[in-house]
């Protein structure tokens, strides 16, 4: 029988399965898009809306309200996309969750993982984030998780769980 249906991963866990790690993308993948959107909001609100207010005086307030609504809407979408883009490491599987309203889960059993690779760029090295690539045997294929914080630490945790399971 199912527990209370929620958007939590608990309903997908196997008996005896425990979450070892839960990771979202690095905080820069949230902050940078929010700052860019805020910058464009300021440009639009104080240049385009002011110019529109000179031409048609009544539309300046409406333009400002519409741009403010778009700022909050896009900010919420960016935050929720960041929040619901997760990697779970359990004692049996590696699970990637994606999606705000519609959920998509991809899981690879730890016994099927053949290779775990982490890659950093220059900014990733400076801010300690990078990409994790998990290659597996069989039909699961390859899982790529981009922008994870401390990917070398996460790679070590995955390899430790694989080692524990193979004992």
Domain hosting residue 51, numbered range: 30-80
Q: Is residue 16 part of a domain?
A: no
Using the 3D structure, point to which of 13, 45, 80 is the last residue of a domain. 80
Q: Is residue 9 part of a domain?
A: no
Strand partners, 23: 87
103 shares a domain with 122: yes
The pLDDT value given to residue 64:
80
98 shares a domain with 147: yes
In angstroms, the CA 70 to CA 73 distance is 5
Count of structural domains within the chain: 2
Q: Is residue 138 part of a domain?
A: yes
The pLDDT value given to residue 7:
47
The pLDDT value given to residue 22:
93
Report yes or no on whether pTM surpasses 0.85.
Answer: no
DSSP state for residue 103 in the 8-state scheme: -
Helix spans in the chain (H): 28-43, 49-55, 59-83, 122-127, 151-166
In angstroms, the CA 144 to CA 161 distance is 19
114 shares a domain with 142: yes
- Our CA angle for 99, 102, 104, nearest 5°, is 60
The one-digit pLDDT tens for each residue of the chain (167 residues) are: 333 333 456 667 888 889 999 999 999 999 999 999 999 888 887 787 777 655 566 677 777 888 889 999 999 999 999 999 999 999 999 999 998 888 888 889 999 999 999 999 999 999 999 999 999 887 767 899 999 999 999 999 999 999 988 87
Q: Is residue 39 part of a domain?
A: yes
The pLDDT value given to residue 43:
84
94 shares a domain with 69: no
């Amino acid at each position: 029988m199912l527990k209370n249906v929620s958007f939590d991963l608990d309903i997908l866990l196997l008996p005896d399965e425990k979450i070892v790690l839960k990771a979202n993308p690095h905080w820069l993948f949230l902050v940078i898009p929010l700052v860019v959107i805020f910058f464009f909001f300021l440009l639009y609100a104080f240049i385009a809306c002011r110019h529109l207010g000179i031409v048609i005086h009544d539309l300046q307030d409406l333009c400002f309200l519409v741009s403010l609504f778009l700022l909050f809407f896009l900010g919420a979408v960016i935050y929720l996309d960041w929040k619901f883009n997760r990697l779970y490491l359990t004692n049996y599987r590696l699970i990637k969750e994606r999606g705000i309203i519609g959920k998509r889960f991809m899981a690879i059993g730890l016994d099927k993982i053949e290779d775990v690779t982490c890659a950093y760029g220059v900014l990733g090295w400076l801010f300690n984030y990078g990409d994790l690539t998990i290659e597996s045997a069989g039909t699961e294929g390859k899982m790529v998780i981009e922008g994870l914080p401390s990917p070398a630490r996460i790679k070590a945790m995955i390899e430790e769980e694989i080692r524990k399971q193979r004992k």
